[in-house]
Amino acid sequence: MALHKFGEFISLRYVIAAMCVRRRTDACRGTRASVVAGRRFARRRHAIRGTMRAVRWIARLVGLSALFLIPNACAEVPATPEPPRPPIVERVRTPPRATPTPLASGGLGMFRDEWESIQGQPLRARGQFISYRGGNIGASFANDIVWYIERQWPGVEMPSRDAARTASNEYLPRDAHLVGYFQTRAMRRYDQYSSESLATRFRLAAENAEQVDPWKGAAPGSFIVYYRDLGDRVSSMVLSTGVNPN
C-alpha cells in the first residue's frame, strides 16, 4: 500500500514537472514573439520620426521661399504708360447748305428717283443714256439730275410739228419761258427756253456733288427742244440743257 502511494506521488511530481517545462517553453516562445514585435514597432517608429523630420524641413523651406516670393508678388506692378494723345482740335462746322426747293417739272431737272417714279424701271442702258417704256423714251443724268431727254415715235404714230411741240411741254420745268424759235443751217428746228429753277437745281447739286457744267457754255438755266423731222412729221425730239442742237 505504501509502495503504491509512493508510486502515485512520483507520477504526480513528473506530471507537475512536465507541466512546468511546457509553461516555460510557452513563456519563452511568447517572450521571443514579443521581442520581434517590439523590434518591428521600433523600426516603424523610427521611420515615422524620419518622415516627420523631412516634413518639418520641407515646411521650413517653403516658409523661407514664401518670405522671398510674397513681397515680390505683393509689389505694385508699374502701369503701362499711355501713348501721348493728340491735341484736341476744335472741329470747324461747315454751315448747312441751302436745301433745294422742290422743282416743278415733268422731266428736265428732276432727280432720278422722281423721274423713274413716273417712267418706271430702266429697260436698258447705252453708255450714259438709259431707256424706258419699251425704248420710246430715254434720259441721261448729271449729279443724278435729268439733263437730257429723247422721245421717239413709231412710224404710224409720228406727230405733226405742232403736235410734237405740244408734247414737249410735258417735260419742261413749270417756270420755263420761251426765248425764241430757231433753225440751224442744216434746217433743224429748235426752241430755246430758260428756267431759273432749273439753274438753281443744278447749282445746288454741284455744290454738294461733282462740279459739272450742264449748260455747255450757255447761260445757266438755258435749254432747248429740237426736232428730227421726217417730211411734215416728227420722228423724235430731244430736250437738252445748254444751247447745242447739233
Q: Cα 178 to the chain's mean position, in Å?
A: 53
How confident is residue 91, by pLDDT bands cut at 50, 70 and 90? Answer: very low
How confident is residue 64, by pLDDT bands cut at 50, 70 and 90? Answer: low
Q: Cα 126 to the chain's mean position, in Å?
A: 35
Weakest-pLDDT range from 6-20, 48-62, 160-174: 6-20
Task: Please give the grid coordinates belonging to residue 185.
Answer: 443751217
Query: What mean pLDDT comes out for the span 230-235?
Result: 94
Backbone angles phi, psi at 86, to 5 degrees: -65, 150
Backbone angles phi, psi at 177, to 5 degrees: -125, 145
Amino acid making up residue 158:
M
Amino acid making up residue 210:
E
Q: What is the Cα–Cα distance from 27 to 99, expressed in whole angstroms?
A: 126
| pLDDT at residue number 65 | 56
Statement: residue 117 has pLDDT above 80: yes
| pLDDT at residue number 34 | 56
Judge whether 198 and 173 are in contact, CB under 8 Å.
yes
Residue 69, CA distances (Å) to 57, 63, 64, 235 in order: 18, 10, 9, 99
Look at the alpha carbons of 174, 176, 180, 182 in this order and tell me if their dihedral is positive or negative. negative
Count of all residues that appear for the chain in the document: 246
Statement: residue 67 has pLDDT above 90: no
Judge whether 201 and 145 are in contact, CB under 8 Å.
yes
- The percentage of residues in the chain with a pLDDT greater than 90, rounded to a whole number, is 52
Q: What is the Cα–Cα distance from 243 to 224, expressed in whole angstroms?
A: 6
Question: What residue spans define the domains of the chain?
Answer: 1-73, 112-241
Q: What is the Cα–Cα distance from 218 to 136, expressed in whole angstroms?
A: 29
| pTM (2 d.p.) | 0.59
